[in-house]
Chain A
Amino acid sequence: MKTKLILMAGILTLVSAFTTNQEMGKYFTKNGKVSFFSNTDMEDIKADNNKVSSVLDTKSGKIAVEVLVKSFRFKKALMEEHFNENYLESTKYPKAKFDGKIVNLNEVNFAKDGTYTTAISGNLTIKDKTNPVKTSCTFTVKDGKINGKTVFMVAPADYNISIPGVVKDKIAKEIEITTDLDYEPMK
């Protein structure tokens, strides 16, 4: 009888050790934010996307982000139309993706509340082009949740995004992309 109890206690401890290992597990978001900003002397163009999905694996440091292009919202309807139909061809290429990882996982302690800035690198795919991207990301760990923020530049020319000559001066050669993702633990 005693050995059975000890065995049960042992199994329960093992099981709870695995389940409370949540901080070392996977996190996700379905409502992350990605914005882009183009600044020229002629005009500023800005759009926000609040439907970004992402998975962050704190054990391996892997990050996957998917952006539905049609969820980008512009103030001007005509800009949104041109963006979708002419530049990104979003009916043909509905998603933009980032697949990468935290370069030095030991620079971040996901088990401890705090703010950590570290390098992430990976591949960014827009339309049918994939290019390597390296940028710094700031992770904020608080109360079991993780926020990830990045800012980096993207050149439309690198992704087969052709800007017609008429509006060339209205769109920056490099667009600033800002991401703000609030992750929660995967159940």
Chain B
Amino acid sequence: MAKKIVYLLLILAAIGAFIGYRMWNKPHKDIANAKEDFFISASALSKEYNASEESANAKYLEKVISVSGKVSELQLENADEPTVALATDAEDKTVQCGFKKEFLNDIKNLKSGDNIKIKGKCDGMDMFGGVVLTQCSLIK
């Protein structure tokens, strides 16, 4: 009887350890292949954020967003996170889209004025009124 209980406890411990190991090593959410929570234009997203950062954060923070817009410029100086800035109706406001460095080849040939779609995770608004997306990928 005691032996059976010991075996049971050992099995439970093994399961627990396995679950813990799997959680510890769980992968990052695959944003590129996740279903977007929102599909919106760069102008509309920027407008909402600049009208009310708090409301926009309540709606978009941490969500997967597919943004469509025109390329304003490429910002490749930070090699760890190549970035595409999308233009908006407001001259000085952009949607900043940060890509992992593995995707540099996807974006380095983009030109100002190109119409593109990007999927990424919304991190909020920066000090220049720019909406920031990270973990971005180009939607073909």
Cα separation A71 to B100 with both chains bound (whole Å): 12
**Of the residues A28, A48, A50, A71, contact of B128 by C-beta under 8 Å:** A28
A80's closest neighbor in chain B, by CB? Answer: B28
A-B contact count (CB 8 A): 73
Number of residues from B at the complex interface, CB < 8 A: 28
Cα separation A50 to B134 with both chains bound (whole Å): 9
Cα separation A66 to B28 with both chains bound (whole Å): 25
Number of residues from A at the complex interface, CB < 8 A: 25
> Quick check: B80 and A77 within 8 Å, CB to CB?
no
Interface SS of A by simple majority: strand
**Of the residues A55, A76, A77, contact of B127 by C-beta under 8 Å:** A55
Among B98, B126, B128, residue most surrounded by chain A Cβ atoms (within 10 Å): B126
> Quick check: A31 and B24 within 8 Å, CB to CB?
no
**Of the residues B57, B98, B134, contact of A94 by C-beta under 8 Å:** B57
Interface flag for A177 (CB, 8 Å): no
**Of the residues A54, A76, A94, contact of B24 by C-beta under 8 Å:** A76
Chain A residues, Cβ within 8 Å of B123: 51, 68, 70-71, 94
